[in-house]
Amino acid sequence: DGVTEVLAHHSENLQGKFVEIPCSEDYDSHKRFEGCTPRKCGRGVTDAVITREEAARIRRIAERGLSLGGSDGGASILDLHSGALSLGKHFVNLYRYFGDKIQDIFTEEDFALYRDVRRRIQQRIAQAFGISSSSMYLTKPTFFSRINNTEAKTTHDEYWHPHVDKVTYGSFDYTSLLYLSDYTEDFGGGRFVFMDAGSNKTIEPRAGRVSFFTSGSENLHRVEKVRWGTRYAITISFTCNPDHGIGDPVL
């Protein structure tokens, strides 16, 4: 699929890498928020914001939540904000479905760590793009994903199609991914691919690695099919429009 350049190898420990690229026109069809809506666009990756030990703790939150359900196909979703959890070919609301039993699955410490990690990623994105982190709002969907090589059963399982977040979701201005497992050790395939004209730029997941980018067509991307093992990540999305903001999850 064109020339492949690796932006971040799984074996590297990157303090920070940032590539600036021209912004697409996608932001012009939405209300602009000065000091937040991207005027500088690009993509970055860092292993210096979240430790591998913190990534392991965050992954355990995902594993406990996803153990309650899981998709029949290859891609399972857990959204602690809305409560959406993959179950078979459908989704259930975790909080309604399990009620008070949720207190036995998650702790206040889990949610405190989740908030802290989200805040640090938000600050890193703001720093990279020269905006104030207080002008950014968490938006939906922000979710854990667990992907294996099980055959897709519904369109929700087909995670590998190229897409643009701003086009798909509208509210997204900045997208980030925190990887919770290691490429080549925990799974094969499953690399993140930016699809540029004439070339592909890949990021190889590594537990604790954060990749982030502006959400417009300048960052068309896809995820390779996972060939073996299990890939865990969390997608954390930000908007400049306070009307599309969501709160942190609470027990």
Positions marked catalytic: 231
pTM for the model stands at 0.96
Mean pLDDT of 229-239: 98
Inform me whether the pLDDT recorded for 2 exceeds 70.
Answer: no
Weakest-pLDDT range from 110-119, 132-141, 172-181, 195-204: 195-204
Weakest-pLDDT range from 115-124, 154-163, 199-208: 154-163
* CATH of region 4-51+117-244, choose from 2.40.160, 2.30.110, 2.60.120, 1.10.1400: 2.60.120
Inform me whether the pLDDT recorded for 72 exceeds 90.
Answer: yes
Confidence class for position 198, pLDDT limits 50, 70, 90:
confident
What are the residue boundaries of the structural domains of the chain, listed by start?
Answer: 4-51+117-244
The pair of structure tokens assigned to 190 is 């499953």
Weakest-pLDDT range from 13-27, 90-104, 115-129, 205-219: 90-104
pLDDT digit string, tens, across residues 141-180? 999 999 999 999 998 899 999 999 999 999 999 999 999 9
- Positions of E strands within the chain: 3-8, 17-21, 41-46, 70-71, 75-78, 84-88, 90-93, 137-147, 174-179, 187-189, 192-196, 199-203, 210-214, 221-223, 226-229, 231-239
Q: How far apart are CA 249 and CA 78, in angstroms?
A: 12
**Mean pLDDT rounded to a whole number for the chain:** 95
Inform me whether the pLDDT recorded for 1 exceeds 60.
Answer: no
